[in-house]
Chains A and B, each alone.
Chain A
Amino acid sequence: MLRLDRTTYDAIVAHAKQDHPVEACGVVAGAEGSDLPSRHVPMVNAAGSPTFYEFDSTELLALYKQMWANDEEPVVIYHSHTATEAYPSRTDIGLANEPGAHYVLVSTREHGNSEGPVEFRSYRIVDGDVTEEPVEILDQLTA
């Protein structure tokens, strides 16, 4: 189960809509071992593509150094699909390297940059196995 506060949820959805038709990506960091996603960090999609995303390598290092300094880990790793459903692609599965993270997929295929609902789904991806999990959006997250 992924529990996420509404402010972070709204920020991820806004990021995905804003970058559509290019895939948006980012993380929500949280204290190591807490499973509490608390710090939203939108990332640059260095691929700038509607079918691929990759965190910029310099930003990736800066992000991890900051998380190490704060004793954080990537609790959520998200990206958008802009023309297909919010389900991990074969590439997503092959490149998933954080077995402890919730992999969130947002699909903007229906409304693009406009107002309107998006698909927002979360998965665990471990050793190539994908398991979908429920998403609960709360007004506030508590430990």
Chain B
Amino acid sequence: MYKVLFNRSIGPSPYSLLLPEPVRDVGDYGAIPTTGLMSGHQGCTGCGMVTGTNQVLRALKLMDKHVVASIGTGCNEVITTQNTSCWGDVSVDHNNFPNTGATLSGNIAALRALVQAGAVSSDSVVNIGIAGDGGTYDIGLQALLAWIARGENGVYVCLNNQAYMNTGIQGSGATPFGTNTTTTPFGKVVRGNQRTQQSLLELALAAGASYVASACPLLHRDLMIKAQKAAAIEGPCVLEIYSVCPEGWKSDTDVFHEITGLALDTRSWILCEAEREQRSNTVLFTLNYLPKRFLPISEYLKMQERFAGMRGFPEMVQHAQEIIDARWSFWHPVLEANGIDDKKEGEAFAT
């Protein structure tokens, strides 16, 4: 358990109570050419994961960091291992499906040894782990939580596309309620996924993470600030990135913006961050995005055929709404402090 504090101000913030100085806002760097994930990868058209990885790498390189990445098996590994040149000057260690957290620990231990031997300076390298939602929520959870519990310096990035996409769209621990996947098919006896998706941020905080954040590539400034914070803050940091997947979500390939916008405005994906002051065991929660209009979940279900079955059952849509409302209610203290009423559905307001 930890003490909970809320940040009153809403929106992307380069400040952190764990850092003496704010990280630089990406705009402040000016036109410095950096490379993230480069051409040669085999991501599908409209893949959000590619953009997410790209932005994380760019943000870290803007800090003059050499990136050492441990990547778990998953879409990200499949699309970047046939042409490894797409990683540019990133050193990459592809391990097994369950081991991203464990490999990250190995990388970090090696860095410590290199620093002791005087081969590299500790602040020139950042160790990151990248895995999908299956490799994080399911098979890799033990390794991830154990890595967090060891309290090592590093960044774990979960590219969450809410199912196992590269093996043929099977449900995972991050699959939303009612979703049609090949292992949670929408039929007459069982209607899609009956479980509620887990919350990685809660799991990571409970395990003792210093910094956890959720982001989406649509709001790249917010994402890149968070990646830089995660690299700068001492201790284990977890960044979860919303990754649009036209292949698995059965959506058009050119509606990346629209789907992400709806995810944010229906609060299906809440942009937030939490930083832990270890000595006083206090966690400060910040809400990074406030919808201009509060939309019902039914709007989010429209553009994705993975929800096609569920759309026909009002009680299921209602249940999905209840899940979201329950999660969103956590942020009520922030809304109240700002005089915002989220009961007025669909109504525009000024912040």
A binds B: no
